[in-house]
């Protein structure tokens, strides 16, 4: 049988795209690195897990219900989101993680020859989805570890369809305060879609941080992304959503894949969405761990960036991939940042204080 003619069948932009290779399962990693335990400090997961009501939903889920299709448009969850944020339910689209709603937006507005504008050192999925869809991703360098609003505006041309802003930014934790975001939106003047990814907004305690949900009425071209993976501890169930002006969301809905979000994820998210006590408990944990780790890094003389969010970045005088291997041998899994275009930096998720203490001890040994 002849081989499949992939060179002819695959578009150039797909052939050039380097696929993301996920890490191996924890048990396999522990075997490979010879560690008896493994603390995941690489994916910014919530150490407290889901809110209690969501945990109850997960425990009590009746197995026969798995044979039934879920709500195709997350009807119940959209009602809950609408009530929480004072919107119409049809102003929300729910997807299989935030990655899917990123794809919805790009597919809705972009075609080959168009471009998106975002930062060069941010959540990579905006760039990935654009690239493997044949869309040019214009990557603007960060300025002082933050999105450069003026340079992003200067990069706009006639084929620019979407500007992506991660607020607060992953991995630097920097953010645009309310006035800066409003100036940016005013300069765009409704002529492009502006996506503000607020995946980590529930962790932010800064008083001047803008709540994108409150800006949708004034800026109909604004689309907000949020997720249940981070603060709400449902990363394993894969559920995120977008919100925007009804006309814009209805346009994006044309590209939406129905039935992509499973029933358990929808029910757990419905139970989680109004649990403000869980947010406060998580913020306390992050605040305590961040303060501890900042002090330890200052003692070690290591440069670091610690903004908003449940993570911080550390610069090392060695390869980040080497640091990853050495820390893995001690059961500590961090994020090597070369893939984020931050060579020799690592990102560390903020979690329980005892785990932070173990990480600080291991790092101290490593930098000696």
**Helix or strand holding residue 360 (H, E):** helix 353-367
* Domain 6-49+277-367: CATH architecture, name and number where available: Alpha-Beta Complex (3.90)
Can you tell me the distance from the alpha carbon of 249 to that of 168, in angstroms, rounded to the nearest whole number?
Answer: 23
Which residues have CB under 8 Å from 187's CB, separation 6+? Answer: 153
Please give the Cα distance from 18 to 277 (Å, whole number). Answer: 41
List the one residue out of 280, 345, 227, 310 whose CA is nearest residue 41: 310
The tokens for 318 are 């060695």
pLDDT, averaged per 10 consecutive residues of the chain (368 residues), comes to 88 84 91 95 96 98 96 98 98 94 96 96 94 95 97 98 98 98 98 98 97 98 98 98 98 94 98 98 98 97 97 97 96 94 97 97 93
pLDDT, residue 283, reads: 98
Q: How far is CA 235 from each of CA 177, 292, 321, rounded to the nearest angstrom? A: 27, 26, 25
Beta bridge partners of 336: 346
Burial of 175 (0-12, 13-18, 19+ CB in 10 A): buried
Query: Do the first three CATH levels of 6-49+277-367 and 52-274 match, i.e. the same topology?
Result: no
Which residues are bridge partners to 151 per DSSP?
none
Domain ranges of the chain: 6-49+277-367, 52-274
Alpha helices in 61-157 (DSSP H): 75-85, 98-109, 125-132, 149-154
3-class secondary structure, 51? coil
Element (H, E) at 52: helix 52-60
Find all residues with CB under 8 Å of 143, minimum gap 6, and list them.
151
- Cβ atoms of 212 and 226 within 8 Å: the answer is no
Residues 6+ apart with CB under 8 A from 273: 77, 80, 81, 84, 228, 232
CA angle 278, 280, 281 (to 5 degrees): 65
- Cβ-contact 44, 280 below 8 angstroms: no
For residue range 116-153, what is the model confidence (pLDDT) as tens digits?
999 999 999 999 999 999 999 999 999 999 999 999 99
| 40 bridge partner residues | 333
- How far is the C-alpha of 146 from the C-alpha of 137, rounded, in Å? 18
Q: Is 361 helix (H, G, I), strand (E, B) or coil?
A: helix
Distance, in Å, from the CA atom of 7 to the CA atom of 124, rounded to the nearest integer, reads: 26
Which residue carries 């500007």 as its tokens? 163
| Local structure of 228: helix, strand or coil | coil
Q: What CATH fold (topology level) applies to the domain 52-274? A: 3.40.640
How is 261-309 classified by DSSP, letter by letter? S-HHHHHHHHHHTT-HHHHHHHHHHHHHHHHHHHHHHHHHT--EE--SS
Q: Helix, strand, coil: what percent of the chain each, to 5?
A: 45, 15, 40
Tokens representing residue 191 in the block: 């002529």
- Tell me the C-alpha distance between 329 and 250, whole Å: 49
């Amino acid at each position: 049988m002849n081989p499949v003619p992939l060179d002819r069948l695959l578009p150039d932009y797909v052939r050039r795209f380097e696929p993301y290779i996920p890490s191996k399962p924890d048990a396999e990693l522990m075997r490979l690195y010879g560690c008896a335990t493994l603390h995941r400090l690489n994916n910014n997961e919530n150490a407290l897990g889901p809110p209690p009501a969501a945990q109850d939903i997960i425990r009590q889920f009746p197995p026969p219900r798995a044979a039934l299709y879920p709500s195709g448009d997350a009807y119940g969850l959209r009602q809950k989101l609408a009530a929480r944020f004072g919107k119409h339910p049809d102003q929300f689209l729910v997807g299989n993680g935030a990655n899917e709603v990123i794809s919805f937006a790009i597919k809705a507005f972009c075609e080959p020859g168009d471009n998106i504008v975002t930062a060069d050192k941010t959540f990579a999925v905006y760039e990935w989805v654009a690239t493997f869809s044949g869309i040019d991703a214009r990557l603007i360098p960060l300025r002082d570890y933050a999105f450069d609003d003026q340079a992003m505006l200067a990069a706009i041309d006639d084929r620019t369809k979407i500007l992506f802003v991660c607020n607060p930014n992953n991995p630097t934790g920097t953010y645009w305060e309310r006035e800066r975001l409003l100036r940016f939106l005013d300069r765009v003047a409704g002529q492009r879609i502006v996506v503000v990814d607020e995946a980590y907004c529930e962790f932010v305690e800064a008083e001047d941080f803008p709540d994108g949900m409150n800006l949708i009425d004034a800026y109909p071209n604004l689309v907000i992304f949020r997720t249940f993976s981070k603060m709400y501890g449902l990363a394993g169930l894969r559920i995120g959503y977008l919100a925007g002006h009804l006309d814009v969301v209805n346009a994006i809905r044309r590209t939406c894949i129905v039935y992509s979000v499973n029933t358990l994820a929808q029910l757990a998210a419905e139970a989680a969405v109004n649990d403000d006590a869980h947010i406060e408990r998580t913020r306390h944990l992050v605040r305590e761990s961040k303060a501890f780790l900042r002090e330890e890094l200052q003692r070690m003389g290591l440069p670091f960036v610690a903004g908003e969010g449940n993570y911080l970045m550390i610069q090392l005088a060695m390869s980040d991939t080497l640091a990853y291997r050495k820390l893995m041998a001690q059961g500590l899994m961090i994020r090597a940042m070369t893939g984020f275009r931050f060579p020799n930096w690592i990102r560390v998720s903020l979690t329980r204080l005892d785990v932070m203490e173990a990480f600080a001890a291991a790092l101290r040994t490593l930098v000696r």
